[in-house]
Amino acid sequence: MTAHAVRSAYLGWLATAIAKVRGATSAIAGDEQDLVLGYATGYDSADVAIFVRSLRSHYSGAIALVVDPDPELRDFLKSYDVETLDAPDLALEGGDWTPHPVVSRFAGFDALLRSRPWVRNALLTDVRDVVFQASPLEPAPEGLEFFAECETPLSLHDFNMKYIRAVGGEKLAEAVADQACICVGTVIGPREQLMRFCRLILMLGAIPRSEIGGAFGADQATCNLAVHLGLLEGQVMPNHSRVATLGMVPTSKLTLKEGMIHNPDGSVSPIVHQYDRHPLLMTAMWSRWAADVEKRERCRPKTLGDRIDKVVQSVKRRTLELR
């Protein structure tokens, strides 16, 4: 019997992303040190100013951001001793299919960490909606650290459950439904453990059809499945610990004191994620860290092509893929 190749755009992309791609050689060398690593493609100086300036006020170690070839942005980041990186080329040979950036960034993280053997511990993080209130990697993590984004379990979060079902099926979704809702936007740990984590969630994305495994939301689903099914070792830290994720926290439970965001219990987290969901906090952080930067509103009207593309993607998610 003649063997046939698996016809899956995601699997083809994955082979390139994991097996072939290597990150650009780091401009930093020397003894082991920590690294804050983020993807900031599609952003300008106004989008990253709060992240970079607040981080630099508490942390003197290595920072690297994947950004567009924007000279103004790169000059801004250079002035804060931030290494600017081109995104690794992850395009599928012979085609133009790529996963959503929230998925493909983990292949980039893996490649960039592989090329930086000097990294001791790293923070893989969102950029636009993160502000720092202390050094993010102190105390040093003892292993992988994941962070819950709320006190309620996954079963109460329709978005996460939708993609967990899509990625792993109804039974696996039921198996993790009573577990903590982990946010994949901030993950901390030793370099080699982070690389294994990145590869694992990318491999879990290969279970369903390409248009699901590579979709927005699949990163959250695969992260929660990997952790809660015990496929890797790591601690799930409660919200408002090293990281405070505020997207689902009522504004009335948060306070501002001397420019710092205080948690409902009065504590202060070193890393605050999704503060921009609260206009009061966004205004305060902008005033403190980016008052001199021109703020540009992001408002792009939906075109007919956008609407058609949304319908096409919806149909693809529901169509059997030949494998």
Three-state SS for 140-208 is CCCCCEEEEEEEEEHHHCHHHHHHHHHHHCHHHHHHHCCCEEEEEEEEEEEHHHHHHHHHHHHHHCCCC
Bridge partners (DSSP) of residue 268 are none
Cβ pair 39, 63 in contact under 8 A:
no
- Tokens for 56? 């630099």
What residue has token string 């209130």? 133
- Computed on alpha carbons and rounded to an integer, the radius of gyration of the chain in Å comes to 20
pLDDT at 321: 53
Kindly give the confidence (pLDDT) of every residue in the chain, 323 residues in length, as a single tens digit, with 9 standing for 90 and above.
Answer: 445 555 678 888 888 788 765 655 666 556 789 999 999 999 999 999 999 999 999 999 999 999 999 999 999 999 999 999 998 776 655 566 778 889 999 999 999 999 999 999 999 999 999 999 999 999 999 999 999 999 999 999 999 999 999 898 999 999 999 999 999 999 999 999 999 999 999 999 888 777 677 888 889 999 999 999 999 999 999 999 999 999 999 999 999 999 999 999 999 999 999 999 999 999 999 999 999 998 776 655 556 655 665 565 555 555 545 44
Q: What is the pTM of this model?
A: 0.88
